[in-house]
Amino acid sequence: MSELRQNAERLVAEGKGILAADESNGTMNKRLEAAGVEPSEENRRALRELLFTTEGAAEHISGVILYDETFHQSTADGTPFPRLLEDQGVVPGIKVDTGAKPLPGSEDEKITEGLDGLRERLAEYYEGGARFAKWRAVITIDEHLPSPYCVHVNAHALARYAALCQEAQIVPIVEPEVLMDGGHTIDRSEEVTGDVLSAVFAELRAQHVQFEGMLLKPNMVLAGYECSEQPDDDEVAERTLRCLRRHVPAAVPGIVFLSGGQSDEDATTRLNVMNQMGPQPWEISFSYGRGLQAAALTTWHGEDEKVPEAQKQYRHRARCTGAARRGEYTEAMERELATA
Catalytic member of 23, 49, 109, 175: 175
Cα distance between residue 173 and residue 93, in whole Å: 10
CB 200 within 8 A of CB 243: no
If DSSP codes are grouped into helix, strand and coil, which group holds residue 134? strand
Cα distance between residue 14 and residue 284, in whole Å: 10
Q: Cα–Cα–Cα angle for 217, 136, 2, nearest 5°?
A: 55
CB within 8 A of 53, min separation 6: which ones?
A: 75, 84, 311
Identity at 156, one-letter amino acid code:
H
Cα distance from N-terminal residue to C-terminal residue, the chain: 44
CB 64 within 8 A of CB 21: yes
Catalytic member of 16, 95, 110, 217: 217
Going by C-alpha positions, the residue among 161, 165, 151, 136 that lies closest to residue 287 is 136
Sign, CA dihedral 113-18-165-163, equals: negative
Q: Clarify whether 120 is annotated catalytic.
A: no
CB 114 within 8 A of CB 97: yes
Residue 208: is it exposed, middle or buried by C-beta count within 10 angstroms (0-12/13-18/19+)?
A: exposed
Q: Clarify whether 95 is annotated catalytic.
A: no
Cis peptide bond upstream of 146, omega within 30: yes
Catalytic center residues = 175, 217
